[in-house]
Amino acid sequence: MSNAANIFGYVAGGVSLGVLALGLYGSHRPSARQKNLDEVISDTETILRSATHQGFLPDPHLNVKLHGRLSGLRAKASELRTKTLCATSTWKECREFCLGLSFEIGNCTNETKKLRAVILVGPYRLSGNSQDE
């Protein structure tokens, strides 16, 4: 009886771990993370364009630096998108996941979010309205 209970426990534990791993993989698949990165880049471009047109970024050096950084991130996102689109099957996508593609996409997303924050906070810091002081 105890052998049957042990086997059942091992099987149940294995199935639980498998379901957990599939759940984590599903939310961190390269294709899912790439969609998020594309949305963040698009949003950041819109915010930067709006801030530039409305004159919230009066420093031309900062403006050029922000546009340059966004161009670099856009190029990196394009490179990552190519890798993601080349993973045409679940197996290939899983392989790219294991090789760190999702991690790279996450890093690019975080860098883009940091740039977006600089764009949003920049006008307040430049005008002296920062609440950090």
Q: Return the closest-CA partner of residue 62 out of 72, 51, 75, 73.
A: 51
Domain that holds residue 51: 29-127
H helices of the chain, in order, are 2-27, 30-53, 60-86, 90-98, 101-127
Domain presence at residue 79: yes
- Model pLDDT for residues 32-47, shown as the tens digit of each residue: 999 999 999 999 999 9
Task: Give residue 127's pLDDT band: very low, low, confident or very high (50, 70, 90).
Answer: very low
Domain presence at residue 22: no
Domain presence at residue 6: no
> Burial, 101: exposed, middle or buried (Cβ in 10 Å; 0-12, 13-18, 19+)?
buried
Domain presence at residue 73: yes
Torsion sign over Cα 10, 16, 21, 26: positive
Domain presence at residue 132: no
- Residue 133: per-residue pLDDT: 40
- Residue 102: per-residue pLDDT: 93
Domain presence at residue 42: yes
Domain presence at residue 9: no
Domain presence at residue 105: yes
**Count: domains in the chain:** 1
- Model pLDDT for residues 68-119, shown as the tens digit of each residue: 999 999 999 999 999 999 998 988 988 998 899 999 999 999 999 999 999 9
